[in-house]
């Protein structure tokens, strides 16, 4: 490897304690909590270009050179080892368009060397003129936005090996992320200690909860056409609501239709911290997010878009008044409870129907000089923790794609398919009404 990369690794050494949200994802380090992200490309790449591109990406992001080391008290730290290992590359032959699915399941279940790192690896499913390129990251270093960033940088370097992708120093502690006046605020400190105490009491009484007998994890995938995607976007624009709010309500209605009164009308939505915290740059890797929980109106007589408008208003209000710094500061008091919380959530059913993560329009070009990105598959993560019902949405090449991920212990696959069908039937009903109106206007 060129000396340039070793110099950068020396300059950007990591040695910091995991923030609580990172530590909660890390757990005790023994359970794989991996994310895979795959693109299908047409064209050719070379081993040397791939190796060089991965080296430059690893050199940019300090956490990609680090492992996780626990100190004498069991507290985990991100630490750059004396001998930094390059990102491992696994090459396999590509035979069908579905090969990546089986490989993704394997990679989700395959643990990392947490102590020595790196906590990212790469799989190249190689065909004659078509390849699937798969990134695999541990979730404690990488959220959805992070893994898209890495893939975008990697594709750029495969096409233009001399391109510059920059560099940065990662934050060293919670004090680099949350202002000191928040961390030292008496009210924040009191709330942090109180929440920690209440959690400790709750976990004491919840310790006897019956373990869940986990079943088979699975994922259901589908997408809208470019025309359908455009129609949904236009309808939401006309109704002055976000696509995110519309999809939340559509999926909650579908859960209600399939699960009946077992459905809770609540959706859990991760929120990208980068929009709130200047210290976290847009291209910086991190493995955690804040969140918001939204509840759909129960009145069955309300029209669909009235439900969407009400949920959209709640979402807007929550995002505008979200106390991100206070949340992060309060969470730091929960470090002693991290392992007990993880054990609890491994058996908790939760009071929400699903987690909905809308990645939006992916910042990945379709066309390059040397190749073309044919398909971008939504990230896959298989966690046996808390309620695993999750839907991921993203838009690439003007097409909205969905993945529903769950486990038979929580949601049988046939019910997941029924929820997908019910959601799309409801969505298309609204789209067809819009299409009929537009056709009538054009015909008049």
State pTM to two decimals.
0.91
pLDDT at 299: 85
Q: How far apart are CA 221 and CA 103, in angstroms?
A: 16
Distance from the Cα of residue 269 to its chain's centroid: 11
pLDDT in tens, 307-360: 999 999 999 999 999 999 999 999 999 999 988 888 887 777 767 888 999 999
Task: Please name which of 130, 138, 59, 30 lies closest in space to residue 379, comparing C-alpha atoms.
Answer: 138
Q: How far apart are CA 57 and CA 217, in angstroms?
A: 31
Evaluate if residue 77 carries a pLDDT over 80: yes
Q: Which domains does the chain have, with CATH numbers?
A: 3-171 (3.30.559.10), 176-443 (3.30.559.30)
Task: Please name which of 242, 231, 399 lies closest in space to residue 315, comparing C-alpha atoms.
Answer: 242
Q: How far apart are CA 153 and CA 117, in angstroms?
A: 20
Looking at residues 239-264, what average pLDDT do you find?
91
pLDDT in tens, 258-287: 988 787 889 999 988 888 998 888 899 988
pLDDT in tens, 114-155: 999 999 999 999 998 999 999 999 999 999 999 999 999 999
Quote the tokens at residue 285: 């890797």
Q: How far apart are CA 194 and CA 104, in angstroms?
A: 41
Looking at residues 101-107, what average pLDDT do you find?
95
Q: How far apart are CA 342 and CA 225, in angstroms?
A: 40
């Amino acid at each position: 490897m060129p000396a340039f990369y070793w110099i950068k690794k020396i300059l950007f050494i990591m040695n910091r304690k995991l923030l609580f949200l990172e530590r909660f994802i890390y757990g005790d380090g023994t359970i794989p909590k991996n994310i895979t992200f795959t693109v299908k490309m047409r064209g050719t790449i070379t081993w040397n270009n791939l190796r060089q591109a991965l080296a430059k990406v690893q050199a940019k992001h300090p956490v990609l050179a680090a492992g996780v080391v626990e100190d004498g008290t069991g507290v985990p730290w991100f630490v750059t080892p004396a001998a930094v290992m390059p990102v491992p590359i696994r090459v396999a032959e590509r035979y069908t368009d579905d090969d990546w699915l089986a490989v993704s399941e394997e990679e989700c279940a395959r643990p990392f060397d947490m102590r020595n790192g790196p906590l990212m690896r790469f799989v190249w499913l190689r065909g004659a003129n078509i390849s699937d390129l798969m990134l695999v990251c541990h979730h404690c270093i990488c959220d959805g936005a992070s893994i898209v960033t890495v893939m975008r940088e990697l594709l750029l370097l495969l096409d233009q090996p001399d391109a510059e992708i920059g560099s940065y120093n990662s934050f060293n502690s919670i004090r680099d992320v949350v202002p000191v006046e928040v961390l030292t605020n008496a009210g924040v400190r009191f709330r942090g200690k109180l929440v920690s105490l209440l959690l400790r009491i709750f976990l004491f009484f919840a310790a006897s909860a019956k373990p869940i007998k986990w079943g088979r994890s699975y994922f259901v995938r589908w997408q809208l056409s470019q025309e359908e995607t455009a129609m949904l976007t236009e309808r939401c624009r006309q109704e002055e609501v976000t696509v995110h709010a519309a999809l939340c309500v559509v999926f909650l209605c579908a859960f209600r239709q399939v699960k009946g009164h077992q459905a809770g009308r609540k959706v859990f939505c991760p929120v990208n911290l980068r929009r709130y915290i200047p210290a976290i740059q847009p291209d910086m890797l991190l493995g955690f997010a804040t969140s918001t929980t939204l509840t759909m109106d129960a009145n069955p007589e309300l029209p669909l878009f009235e439900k969407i408008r009400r949920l959209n208003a709640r979402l807007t209000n929550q995002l505008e008044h979200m106390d991100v710094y206070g949340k992060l500061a309060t969470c730091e008091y929960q470090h002693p409870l991290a392992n007990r919380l993880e054990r609890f959530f491994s058996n908790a059913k939760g009071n929400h129907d699903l987690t909905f993560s809308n990645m939006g329009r992916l910042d990945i070009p379709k066309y390059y000089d040397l190749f073309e990105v044919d398909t971008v598959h939504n990230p896959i993560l298989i966690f046996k923790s808390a309620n695993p019902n999750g839907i991921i949405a993203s838009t690439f090449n003007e097409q909205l794609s969905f993945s529903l991920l769950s486990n038979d212990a929580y949601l049988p696959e046939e019910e997941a398919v029924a929820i997908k069908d019910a959601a799309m039937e409801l969505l298309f009903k609204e789209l067809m009404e819009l299409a009929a109106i537009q056709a009538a206007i054009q015909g008049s």
